[in-house]
Amino acid sequence: MVKWIIDTDPGIDDASAIITAVNSGALDILGITAVHGNVGLEYTKKNALKLVELMNAEIPVYAGASRPILRKPENAAGFHGEDGFGNTFMEAPSIQVEPEHAVDFLIRAAHENDEISLLTLGPLTNVALALCKDRTIEERISTIVMMAGTSHARGNTSAVSEFNVFADPEAAAVVFNTQIPITMVPWETCLDTTFGPDTVAEVRRSSTRIGMAFSRAMEFTLRGLKNETGEELLVLCDLLAACAAIDPEVITKKLYAKVRVETCGMYSRGLTVIDERGLDGSKPNVTVCLECDRQKISGMFIDAINYHK
């Protein structure tokens, strides 16, 4: 069975992805690596630890990069809360991060296992640094399933850029410039796969520790989205990537393309450039997820938050 590592910046939607990936039992997860992103590393590593603890999962958590390679740190606290978890400020976890740095863990795991796969839910700084430190691991990573980028240049952070790429374009460029097969869930697909009142009601009914914790956190993002759209709905971008890792059949429409990352443009920095025609002779390196099975993904998530270990 392929071993998986989850690289993440929890994050409310990261939480939904982690819960589903862990409680589905479908992925053999070696560890979780925390990175800067939605909020600072202080909170992302704490949130990862707390999620693991609430699920009674025996999965080690490693702290990684606290800032991007070149640019100043970005955050999405306006969407996720100052603590990254809906301003619920969960009590401190009783478990601790591992002493090994996330980058070193990624390298070690790649060498100690026949093959590993990565589920990446935040900026790609940890993964890029690992690849730069030890280029030989590129051939030992069988796939990366990621929530990142845009398919039609409709950004959520800049006019054309999605947050995970915008937060560290240089790191994303390193990762996309490898030969590792990538499945990319872009922002537009997430925006087209929102979860409405039925899913929200199911989450609110959950009586598990992890379900109730997520329910409290999601109220923050629900309020924000209702103010914007007038509807009570959830945008759980990272959940789509987790479900695609668990069951690729949740992807109902996709395209194969060469994807590069713009790192220099004044207006287009962080843009994922989708070349469907291979104009320079390059072969496709990314499966871009264009449509998902919303009902199946919702069901997978609800099953996961209601799972009793």
pTM of the predicted protein model:
0.97
Find how far residue 135's CA is from the centre of its chain. Answer: 23
- Residue 242 is part of a domain; what is its CATH number? 3.90.245.10
28 is known as an active-site residue: no
The rounded distance, in Å, linking the Cα atoms of 79 and 207 is: 25
The rounded distance, in Å, linking the Cα atoms of 147 and 164 is: 8
Can you give the pLDDT of all 309 residues of the chain as single tens digits? 789 999 999 999 999 999 999 999 999 999 999 999 999 999 999 999 999 999 999 999 999 999 999 989 999 999 999 999 999 999 999 999 999 999 999 999 999 999 999 999 999 999 999 999 999 999 999 999 999 999 999 999 999 999 999 999 999 999 999 999 999 999 999 999 999 999 999 999 999 999 999 999 999 999 999 998 888 999 999 999 999 999 999 999 999 999 999 999 999 999 999 998 887 888 899 999 999 999 999 999 999 999 987
Retrieve residue 129's tokens: 């640094």
The rounded distance, in Å, linking the Cα atoms of 207 and 279 is: 53
Integer-rounded Cα radius of gyration of the chain: 18
Run of H or E including 54: helix 41-54
Cα separations (Å) of 61 from 47, 50, 248, 258, 266?
10, 10, 26, 33, 37
Identity of the residue numbered 185: V
Are 291 and 196 within 8 A, CB to CB?
no
Domain with 133 in it: 3-305
Count of structural domains, the chain: 1
The rounded distance, in Å, linking the Cα atoms of 45 and 38 is: 12
Reported as half-sphere exposure (CB side, CA atoms, 13 A), residue 25 has a value of: 4
Which residues lie below 8 Å from residue 277, measured CB to CB, with a gap of 6+? Answer: none
Note the pLDDT of residue 308.
Answer: 82
Are 64 and 100 within 8 A, CB to CB?
no
Q: Describe the crossing of helices 294-305 and 209-229 by its angle, rounded to 10 degrees.
A: 140
What sign does the dihedral 35-1-18-191 (CA atoms) show?
positive
Note the pLDDT of residue 65.
Answer: 98
Which residues lie below 8 Å from residue 45, measured CB to CB, with a gap of 6+? Answer: 34, 61, 63, 97
Note the pLDDT of residue 40.
Answer: 98
From 9, 14, 168, 238, active-site residue? 9
The rounded distance, in Å, linking the Cα atoms of 286 and 258 is: 6
Q: Write phi, then psi, for 158 (nearest 5 degrees).
A: -115, 180
Note the pLDDT of residue 279.
Answer: 79
Angle at 53 between CA 51 and CA 58, to 5 degrees: 105
